[in-house]
Structures are given as C-alpha cells and as structure tokens.
Chains A and B, each alone.
Chain A
Amino acid sequence: MEAFTDWLGATGASMTIQNVTWIIPSVQSVHILAIAVLLAAVVTIDLRLAGVTRRGPSLAALEMRFLPWFWIALAVLLATGLILVVGEPARELLNWLFYTKLVLVLAVTALTALFQLRVRADDGAWETTAARRAAGRILGGASLLLVAATITAGRWIAYVVV
C-alpha cells in the first residue's frame, strides 16, 4: 500500500491538489455541507423510526421527500472524499480509521437502502404492527449511532499519526 500511496501522491492530479492551497479546505467544506444535507434526510427519518418524533407526514411521505437528498449527498461525499484521498493518499490510505469510516459508511448506506426498499414495497412497512414498529426503532437507532460514529471517525482521521 505504501508503494501505491507514493505513486498516487506523485501523480499530476495529486500534486495539483497538494500545491493549490485552496483546494483541500474548499473540498473539505463541500464535504461538510454534504454531510449536513445527508443529516437532514437521515435524522428526519431516523428520529421518526426511533419514535422520538411522532407528528407530521408519514414515513412513506418522508422517504419520498428526503431520501433523494440522501443519495445526492452520498454521491457528493464520495466524489469529494475521492479528491481528498488523491490529494493526501498517505493520510487516508495508510490510516486504519479511514477504513473504519468506510465500513461505517457502507453500514449506513445498507440500512438506508433497506428502509427505502421496504417502505417503497409497502407504505406501512415500518409502522402498521407492533413488530414492525419495534424493527423500525432498532433500525432508526442503529442508523443514528452509525452516522454519529462515521462523523467521529472522519474528524479523527486527521489526528491518527500515520
């Protein structure tokens, strides 16, 4: 992996990102803005799933209104994240916390896809019976914890000495 990060760090694209001083903070800022967009979708739906909020539109309506933003934000996060990896390959790819973050992102994505597929097949998939509501509380709670863990891992990448 070190040979790869050395090679990647010496490419023209990586050199540009390293040498143009405004690129990394700008891309990081867009990354944070995309996290905010993703949170708007995830927190709205997870709080309802977890039973913390009860009023307002149904889960099926929230899914239609908010989840497209989740996927748009995820695409922006992956794109900006990729630019940051190319710009600082050793900081990310030699860092165990970076891989932890990737696993957490995969888990959040899988839970969101599970929620979306089930509610699209059946509007009441997470609400109509006690068992479904219990499953929804577990899903919503797990998703909130995983998102919090992802943000934590992301911020701590900067502090793990590679």
Chain B
Amino acid sequence: MEPILLAIENSAVGTAIRQSAWLFPTVETAHVAALALVLSAIGVVDLRLAGVTLRERGVDELMRAVLPGAWVSFVLAAITGAALFASNAVTYAGNPAFQIKVALLLLAGVNMAVFHLGAQRRIAHWDPQTLPPAAARVAGGLSLLLWIGVVFAGRWIGFAA
C-alpha cells in the first residue's frame, strides 16, 4: 500500500498542491461547497423518501429534478477530494477520521444501490403516494444519517492526528 500512496503523493497534482500556499485552501473550498451541494440535494430527496417533507410532490418527479445536480456536485466533490488526498496521501490514509469517512461513503453507495435495485424498481406502484413504503423510508433515513456522518468525519480529518 505504501508505495502506491507515495506514488500518489509524489504525482504532479499531489506535489503541486503540497508546495503551493493557495492551492490547498482553494481546492478545499471547492470541496466543501460541492459537498454542501451534494448534501442539500440528497437531503431533499432523503427527507421526501423518509416521508418527512414535500409530500405533495411525487418522489420520481423530485428525483428527476434534483439528482442530476447532485451527481454533478458529487463528481466535483470526488475530484477535489482526490486532489486533496493526493497532497498528503500517506498521512490521510492513516488518519482514522479519513478511514471512517471513506467507509461511510461506501455504505451510502451500498444503501443507494439497494434502494435502486429494490424499492425504486417498484416506484410506479407506490409513487406518488404521500408516504413511501417502509423500504424506501429506511433508505432515505439511512442515507441522511450516513451523509451527516460523512460531514462530521470529514471535518474531523483536520483534527485527528
């Protein structure tokens, strides 16, 4: 693992960010803004899936309106996140908060896949009911909790030695 991490760290991107005074905060600002956008879009869908709010709108229609923007923001967050990681790959890989953040992101991905292959396949049967079925409500609530965890773990990276 170590040689790969060192190679990432010594890549052109990693070196440039590490050696510049302004690149890290600039990329970090874009990362925080992109993550906040991801969260705002996913949060709206999650709250609707959980049946908490926006019950007058169908889940399918809401997802079509909101999720393309969420994906664009997610790609931006992933690219900027990878660049930040590259600037200090060895240290970040060993940072427990970073490890937890990656684990939570993977769990959020699994949760999304389970919803996609399960309750979402039957969406025509239950949408636009005001209250989605239990599987969809669980997916929404779980997603919200996981993404809140991603924010906490991410903020902790800078504080965990």
Interface residues of A (CB under 8 A from B): 21, 24-26, 28-29, 32-33, 35-37, 39-40, 43, 53, 55-57, 65, 148, 151-152, 155-156, 158-159
Contact = CB atoms under 8 A, between A and B. Distances in A.
Contact of A40 (B25, B40, B158): B40
A43 B159 contact: no
Given A24-B159, A155-B29, A29 B41 contact: no
B155 A25 contact: yes
Contacts of A155: 25, 28-29, 32
A56 B159 contact: no
Contacts of B75: none
Contact of B156 (A25, A40, A43, A56): A25
A43 B69 CA distance: 11
Q: Which of B36, B148, B151, B152 has the most CB of A within 10 A?
A: B36
A72 B33 CA distance: 19
A55 B39 CA distance: 22
Nearest to B156: A25
Contacts of A26: 152
Contact of A37 (B33, B40, B65, B158): B40
Interface residues of B, number: 23
- Interface residues of A: mostly helix, strand, loop or mixed? helix
Given A21-B159, A65-B54, A33 B25 contact: no
Interface of B: 25, 28-29, 32-33, 35-37, 39-41, 43-44, 54, 57, 65, 148, 151-152, 155-156, 158-159
A40 B47 CA distance: 12
Given A39-B36, A43-B37, A55-B65, A29 B43 contact: no
A95 B29 CA distance: 18
Contact of A151 (B29, B155, B156, B159): B29
A55 B44 CA distance: 17
Contacts of B41: 40
Q: Which 3 A/B pairs are nearest by Cβ-Cβ distance?
A: A40-B40, A36-B39, A39-B40
Given A151-B29, A155-B29, A156-B25, A33 B151 contact: yes
